[in-house]
């Protein structure tokens, strides 16, 4: 992964450390990392972020992460503009291949561009989790129990006038 921003939540994993049967990794963000991710995602705050990742060999030199994360965060309601606290949990999969090696075209489940390249035998599990969180965030979060009808005063529906009623009044006059 080559992000264009500093990596706020980095957990490098040397792929040689992953046994043939795979491994389970548990990672969590420190308070400063949570604050950095909140800025990156445009959120008021991230209180905690943790993930459990099943890392396994994939296509010989590659790795697959099957993960689940949980994030406790503050969001801004698009209806009321109030800050509210929410918990987001989700599952994700990430695939990694050594840089310079193209994914095979015989795997129908994974398209060629879906695998992330890595260099020097290291992937970043933290960045994989951060990217999954970014994709799972609701771009239009709504505080539970708030609706647009609560905020917008709807005008009373206008009495529909028959378009010919006015013509009729002209004829009578």
| Angle at the Cα of 91 from the Cα atoms of 85 and 95, rounded to 5 degrees | 130
Per-residue pLDDT of the chain (173 residues; tens, 9 = 90+): 445 567 899 999 999 999 999 999 999 999 999 999 999 999 999 999 999 999 999 988 899 999 999 999 999 999 999 999 999 999 999 999 998 764 454 444 455 468 899 999 999 999 999 999 999 999 999 998 887 776 666 555 566 667 676 666 676 65
pLDDT of residue 156: 55
- E strand or H helix at 67: strand 62-76
- pTM exceeds 0.75: yes
| Neighbouring C-alpha atoms within 13 Å toward the C-beta of 80 | 12
pLDDT of residue 4: 57
pLDDT of residue 145: 86
pLDDT of residue 104: 52
pLDDT of residue 108: 45
Residue count of the chain, please give it. Answer: 173
Q: What is the CA radius of gyration of the chain?
A: 25
Average pLDDT, the chain: 85
Distance from C-alpha of 163 to C-alpha of 52, rounded to nearest angstrom: 66
pLDDT of residue 113: 60
Distance from C-alpha of 106 to C-alpha of 109, rounded to nearest angstrom: 9
pLDDT of residue 159: 63
- In this structure, what are the phi and psi dihedrals at residue 109, rounded to the nearest 5 degrees? -75, -30
DSSP readout, 1-15?
---SS--SS--EEEG
The interaxial angle of helices 31-41 and 125-136, nearest 10 deg, is 40
Distance from C-alpha of 156 to C-alpha of 21, rounded to nearest angstrom: 66
In terms of Cα–Cα distance, which of 74, 39, 49, 22 is closest to 132?
A: 49
Distances (CA, A) of 161 to 120, 166, 167: 75, 9, 12
């Amino acid at each position: 992964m080559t992000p264009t921003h500093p990596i706020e939540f980095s957990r490098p994993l040397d792929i040689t450390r992953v046994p043939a049967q795979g491994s389970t990794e548990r990672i969590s963000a420190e308070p400063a990392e949570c604050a950095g991710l909140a800025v990156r995602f445009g959120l008021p705050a991230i209180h905690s972020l943790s993930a459990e990742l099943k890392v396994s060999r994939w296509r010989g030199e590659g790795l697959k992460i099957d993960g689940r994360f949980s994030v406790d965060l503050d969001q801004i309601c698009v209806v009321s503009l109030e800050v509210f606290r929410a918990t987001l949990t989700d599952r994700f999969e990430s695939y990694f291949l050594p840089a310079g090696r193209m994914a095979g075209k015989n795997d129908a489940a994974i398209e060629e561009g879906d695998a992330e390249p890595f260099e020097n035998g290291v992937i970043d599990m933290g960045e994989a989790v951060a990217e999954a969180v970014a994709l799972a965030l609701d771009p239009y979060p709504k505080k539970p129990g708030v609706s647009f009808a609560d905020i917008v005063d709807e005008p009373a529906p206008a009495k529909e006038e028959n378009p010919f009623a006015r013509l009729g009044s002209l004829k009578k006059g």
